[in-house]
Structure 1
Amino acid sequence: MIDVSEVSVSVAGAALLRRTDLAVDRGEAVAVRGPNGSGKTTLLRVIAGEITPSGGTVRVAGEAVDDRSSVFRRRVAGSLGLPPFARSLTLREHLTLIATTWGADATAAEAAADEVGDELGLSRLADRFPHELSSGQRQLAGLATVLVRPFDIVLLDEPEQRLDSDHVSAVIGAFARRRDAGATVVVATHSDRIAAELTDRTVLLAAA
């Protein structure tokens, strides 16, 4: 599903990602690990189409990366930092809106929002506004916006941030279920637990 070949990223002569190869199959989960500054987030953003590599090629499902393509956007979801939240929408309204945007009718969208809320332990926060959430709750809310939409590939940048052990368990379970259903998962993480319990193998990046 993902084929990264000799990809590198440099800005103003500084290397953000040294030449990297990565191949990930459908239904496989891979942890990308390495020290800060090794290019973990940069690699995910290259795959997501947010950064154009300085060298090398990336193909997703056999096609070149194109974040202007509706097919590519439907195929690839990502949690690469907290998404923007509208102050005037509750958490449930955010999730319902996202599900609707990706084709669910109103009833199915509300059901999807409630199911993801239950999955991540957010149900009791459904009627809260973003500014009423703690930093850990906002982290979960950001992950919920990914889970409520369809995808074939999901890219996760340190999903464990600001989460306690119980919520890390919920996140591992949620994305493991998507992996088992055939989704491809690539996660940049410092968590030994996520690497061990969610992913099939680990790729180590050297400092850039």
Structure 2
Amino acid sequence: MIEVDAVRVVSGDVTLLDTITRRVDAGTALAVRGGNGTGKTTLLRVLAGIQAPSAGSARIAGAAISQRDRTFRRRVAAMIGLPPFAPDLTVLEHVRLVAVTWFTSEEADARARAALDELGLQTLHERFPHELSSGQAQLFGLALVLVRPCEVLILDEPEQRLDPEHVEAVIAALRARRDAGITLVVATHHPRLAELVADETVHLERVA
């Protein structure tokens, strides 16, 4: 499903991502691990079509990666940092707005509620984004991604700011999607998440 062929990313004299070649089969999960500054987020940005590689190439489902391609946008969902929030929409309204892009209005409402409840946010449907804690905002952002259909799911440290109970909820949600045939690439510092979700792990090293 995902092919990374000698991809390298450089900005000026700084190497953001050293050369990497990797293949991720459909329906499997890859954990990307390594210290800060090793290029984890940069690799995910390449796969999400946000960052063009300086060298090498990456393909998803045999096609070039491009956010301008409608098929790519339908196939790939990504959370790399928190998305922007509208201050006058509730948590549920945000998630429903994403869902209704893909489903009928009635189905979108059910899916939005299910995505929030799956992550333990069932009591926060009517809250506004500014009323959330940092951990709740992280789960809210994740729900916005999980509510939509995709074939490839790309997540940058989904465990950030979460207590152990909610990390477990995220692990369960990601395992369910992997088991349903979705291909995952997850950058994480959390060894338990990597162990329980990933079929393979790649460790990135800091460039000297």
TM-score normalised to structure 2 length: 0.98
**Cα RMSD for the two superposed structures:** 0.6
CA offset at residue 154 of structure 1? 0.5
Percent identical pairs in the alignment equals 56
The whole-number CA distance in structure 1 between the counterparts of 2:65 and 2:199 is 24
The whole-number CA distance in structure 2 between the counterparts of 1:35 and 1:122 is 30
TM-score normalised to structure 1 length: 0.98
1:126-137 to 2 correspondences below 5 Å: 126-137=125-136
Aligned equivalent of 1:21? 21
Aligned equivalent of 2:48? 48
What letter matches 1:114 in structure 2? Answer: R
What letter matches 1:177 in structure 2? Answer: A
> 1:125 aligns to what SS in structure 2?
coil
Structure 2 residue runs without a partner (length 5+): none
Q: Deviations over 1:88-140 (max 9, x none)?
A: 00000001000011x21110000001111110011100000000000000000
Aligned equivalent of 1:144? 143
What letter matches 2:193 in structure 1? Answer: I
Question: What is the total number of aligned residue pairs between the two structures?
Answer: 207
Aligned equivalent of 1:35? 35
Q: Which structure 1 residue ranges, 4+ long, deviate > 3 Å from structure 2?
A: none
Q: Deviations over 1:68-106 (max 9, x none)?
A: 0111011011110000010000000001000011x2111
What letter matches 1:198 in structure 2? Answer: V
Structure 1 residue runs without a partner (length 5+): none
CA offset at residue 206 of structure 1? 1.1
Alignment of 1:83 onto 2:80: no
The whole-number CA distance in structure 1 between the counterparts of 2:121 and 2:186 is 22
> 1:5 aligns to what SS in structure 2?
strand
Alignment of 1:192 onto 2:191: yes
The whole-number CA distance in structure 1 between the counterparts of 2:157 and 2:146 is 16
Aligned equivalent of 1:109? 108
